[in-house]
Amino acid sequence: MTRNEFVQTFDYSILKPTATAKDILVGCEVAKKHGFKLLMVQPCHLELAAITLKGSGVLTGAVLGFPHGTDLTEVKAFSAARLRALGADELDMVLDLGSFKAGDHAKVIADIAAVVKAADGAPVKVILETCELSTDEVVTACKLVQQAGAHFVKTSTGFASKGADAAHIKLMRDTVGPVMGVKASGGIRTLDQALAMLEAGANRIGVSAGEELLREWDARFA
């Protein structure tokens, strides 16, 4: 993997609720400087990020139903459509864990499918919050996400008790096959962690420490 290929796996994330418009503008400049794949922000910052990054080659993404996945389906669908209209290239939504745990798989599929439809062709990543799931539940959740027509399965919000785990990434990749996207996110702060996720089968990593990871890369491989 080259440095550029590594950088192109980055969903550079600014999702803290205390983030300001100034933080987003700084993040946009960081993303442009290094050529990250995408900048992921909260809905309230999406329009600013999209305008600032327009023409830069850096995609803009937003989360919805974040971080608990408990919004009504029609609210999630409205958010997806509105965020797309404001310039979102990709959307990361949270699995309805309550319905999933209750075994209401039809509701889970419908919830995701409504967002996929409203996203009108934009990639939709579904956050499973894997630390809350058993191995069997991770497999089942991945299959439901596939059935609903989403484009990625993703490990974590970064707001739960544990983030990405390489064993979960391998399990997710083995379940969804080689074509569907797998995103590792949550707690990826070192180069070794990031490389382990990619080796396990992730093709996108959500990181807030993007520059730190690149400094490690340059120190090791330059």
Q: From first to last of the 222 residues of the chain, give the pLDDT tens digit.
A: 999 999 999 999 999 999 999 999 999 999 999 999 999 999 999 999 999 999 999 999 999 999 999 999 999 999 999 999 999 999 999 999 999 999 999 999 999 999 999 999 999 999 999 999 999 999 999 999 999 999 999 999 999 999 999 999 999 999 999 999 999 999 999 999 999 999 999 999 999 999 999 999 999 998
**For this structure, is 183 an active site residue?**
yes
Look at residue 53 and tell me if it is in a domain.
yes
β 38-41/59-64 pair status: parallel
Look at residue 75 and tell me if it is in a domain.
yes
Look at residue 154 and tell me if it is in a domain.
yes
Look at residue 2 and tell me if it is in a domain.
no
pTM > 0.95: yes
Q: Which one from 89, 96, 154, 165 is the annotated catalytic residue?
A: 154
**For this structure, is 165 an active site residue?**
no
Q: Which one from 71, 92, 96, 111 is the annotated catalytic residue?
A: 92
Supply the range of the domain harboring residue 84: 9-221
Q: Which one from 37, 76, 125, 183 is the annotated catalytic residue?
A: 183
Say whether the peptide bond before residue 123 is cis (omega within 30 degrees of 0).
Answer: no
Look at residue 215 and tell me if it is in a domain.
yes
In the chain, the number of structural domains is: 1
| CA-to-CA separations, 158 to 64, 104, 114, 139, 204, in angstroms, rounded | 14, 25, 24, 20, 15
Domain at 204, CATH number: 3.20.20.70
Tokens standing for 10?
């980055």
